[in-house]
Amino acid sequence: MAAKSTDSAQKLSPLQVASLMGLFFTAMGVAAISPAMAKLAERFTGYDYALISTLPTLFIVPTTLWAGSAAGKRVRYKTLSTMGILLFLVGGLTPFFLTESFYVLLTCRAVFGIGVGLRASLGNALVIAWYSGKRQADMLGYGTLVTNLGGILFQLAGGALAEVAWNYTFLAYLFGVLSLLLVFFQPEPPEERAPLPGKESTRPEPEGATEEGRGFWRPILLAAGLLFLYQLLTYPIMMNMSLLFEDKGAGGASAAALALSLYTAGGCGVGFLFGKVFHRLGRFTLVLGCLLAALGGWGLCLGASAFLMTCSCVVMGMASSLLTPGAYAIMGMYVPPGKSALCVSILMGVSNLGGFLCPFYLRLLTALFREALYSALYTATAAGLLLAAVFLLWDPLPRAKAGERSKH
C-alpha cells in the first residue's frame, strides 16, 4: 500500500482547502425544501408530494456510484464537480419559474439529484486521499461542520421563503453559487508514491487485510450499513418535521425551519470537535452517537412545545455529526488512498438509497401501526438503543497485525 506523504497537508493552499470544503457545503441542499413540505402537500393535493423530497435520492445513488468509479480515472475531479454544481443550480432554481406541473417539478428534482450525486463523494474522497491519521479525522469533522453550516443556510432560507409562496423555497439554491466560484481552485488527489526508505507508512495494516486490498470491504459494508439505517430511520423525521410541528400545534413552516436549522447547528459544534472526540473515544463515539439519536427521537415523541422539540432536534443533529464522519473515519483506516473515491461513493450511494426508500418505509409503518408520523420516531429510538448496545460490545476499529503491535 502506498503511503501518503507526511507533509501532504502543506501542499494545499488556503483556497484549495476552501474549495474542498465547498464540496461539503452543498451536501444538504436536498433539505432546503423540508420546512416547506406542508405547503407543498397543500399545493399538490392528490399527488405523492413526498417524491419532491425523496426523488433526488433515486438519482443521487447511481450518479454517486458512477462518479466514484470515474473520478480521477476517466474524468477529473474538478470536471465532475463543475458539472455537478451547474446541474445543482439548474435543477434547484428552475421550479421557482415553472410552477404549473407536478411532473415538471419532479423532472427538475431529478436533474438536481444528478448534480448532487456528481459531487457527493468527492469531498470525503479528497480528504481521505490527502490526509491520514488524526488530521484526517479532523478534516472529516470540519467537512461535517461545513455540511451543517450549508444545511442551516439552505433550511433557514427555504423556510423563510416558503412563507412568501411555496415556489420561492427553491430560491434557496442560489447559495450554490458560492460553491461554483470555489470549484476553480479545487485540487486533484495527490499522486501516490512508494514510501522512501525508512519512511514506511504509519497506518497500521488491519488484521485480515491482503495485498490485493480485499480486507477493506468488510468495514465498508459496516459503514454503509450504518449510514443506510441512519438515513432510512431519520430522513422521514426530517422530511415530516413541519407536519409534526403542525400536529402538535407547535408552529408552522418557520418553526420547523428553525428546528431543522438548529439540528444542523447542533451538528456544527460536534463536527468541529469530531477529530478530538474520535481520537479519545474510538468506537465509543458510535455508542454516544446512537444514544443521542435515540434521545432525540424520544424527545420529539414526548415534546409538547416548540422549545422541547427544537432541543430534541439539536440532540439528533449532534448524533448525526458523530455517526456520519465516524463511519467515514473507520473506512479511512482500512481503505488505500487510490480507492477512496470508489469506496466513498459506495457509502454515499447506499446512504442515499436509505433516503429514497423512505416512502416505502413510511407505508410499511402505516400498514403496521396505522400511522407513520410517530411510529417513525419510536422506531428510530429503538434502533438507536440497539445499535448503541452493538457498538458497546463490538469494536469495528482496525487492530494492527501481531508483528506491528510488537514494534510498539
Judge contact between 286 and 322, C-beta under 8 A: yes
How many Å is the Cα radius of gyration of the chain?
Answer: 21
Mean pLDDT for 85-110 is 88
Evaluated on CA atoms 295, 297, 298, 304, the torsion sign reads positive
Mean pLDDT for 232-254 is 79
CA distances (Å), 275 to each of 133, 136, 340, in order?
Answer: 10, 8, 19
What pLDDT, on the 0 to 100 scale, is given for residue 101?
A: 82
What pLDDT, on the 0 to 100 scale, is given for residue 90?
A: 93
What pLDDT, on the 0 to 100 scale, is given for residue 253?
A: 66
Percent of the chain with pLDDT strictly greater than 70:
87
Q: What's domain 12-185+215-397's superfamily in CATH?
A: MFS general substrate transporter like domains (1.20.1250.20)
On the CB side of 96, CA atoms within 13 Å amount to: 17
| 52 grid coordinates | 419532491
| Three-class secondary structure assignment of 52-109 | HHHHHHHHHHHHHHHHHHHECCCECHHHHHHHHHHHHHHHHHHHHHCCCCHHHHHHHH
Write out pLDDT tens, residues 242-251.
778 887 777 7
What pLDDT, on the 0 to 100 scale, is given for residue 215?
A: 57
Q: Taking Cα atoms as reference points, which of 121, 90, 84 lies closest to residue 107?
A: 90
What is the pLDDT of the chain when averaged over all its residues? 79
CA–CA gap between residue 13 and residue 184 (Å, rounded) = 13
What pLDDT, on the 0 to 100 scale, is given for residue 378?
A: 92
What pLDDT, on the 0 to 100 scale, is given for residue 7?
A: 42
At 216, the pLDDT band (50, 70, 90 cuts) reads low
In this model, does residue 212 exceed pLDDT 70? no
What pLDDT, on the 0 to 100 scale, is given for residue 28?
A: 79
Domain boundaries, the chain: 12-185+215-397
What pLDDT, on the 0 to 100 scale, is given for residue 211?
A: 41
At 1, the pLDDT band (50, 70, 90 cuts) reads very low
In this model, does residue 276 exceed pLDDT 90? no
What pLDDT, on the 0 to 100 scale, is given for residue 4?
A: 45
Mean pLDDT for 368-397 is 88
At 343, the pLDDT band (50, 70, 90 cuts) reads confident
Lowest mean pLDDT among 205-214, 231-240, 374-383: 205-214
CA–CA gap between residue 186 and residue 15 (Å, rounded) = 8
Q: Tell me, what DSSP letter sits at residue 4?
A: P
Question: Which three-class secondary structure state does DSSP give residue 147?
Answer: helix
In this model, does residue 208 exceed pLDDT 60? no
Write out pLDDT tens, residues 181-191.
998 888 888 76
Write out pLDDT tens, residues 314-329.
898 888 888 888 888 8
At 337, the pLDDT band (50, 70, 90 cuts) reads low
Mean pLDDT for 149-174 is 84
Burial class (CB in 10 A: 0-12, 13-18, 19+), 89: buried
| 237 grid coordinates | 423525521
In this model, does residue 196 exceed pLDDT 50? no
CA distances (Å), 79 to each of 22, 193, 305, 383, in order?
Answer: 15, 24, 47, 40
At 307, the pLDDT band (50, 70, 90 cuts) reads confident
What pLDDT, on the 0 to 100 scale, is given for residue 97?
A: 87
In this model, does residue 385 exceed pLDDT 90? yes
Percent of the chain with pLDDT strictly greater than 90:
11
Strand partners, 400: 206
At 89, the pLDDT band (50, 70, 90 cuts) reads very high
User: Which residue did the predictor score with more confidence, 49 or 83?
Assistant: 83
In this model, does residue 396 exceed pLDDT 90? no
Mean pLDDT for 358-366 is 87
What pLDDT, on the 0 to 100 scale, is given for residue 8?
A: 43
User: Which residue did the predictor score with more confidence, 127 or 193?
Assistant: 127
Which pTM was predicted?
0.67
CA–CA gap between residue 263 and residue 88 (Å, rounded) = 23
What pLDDT, on the 0 to 100 scale, is given for residue 137?
A: 79
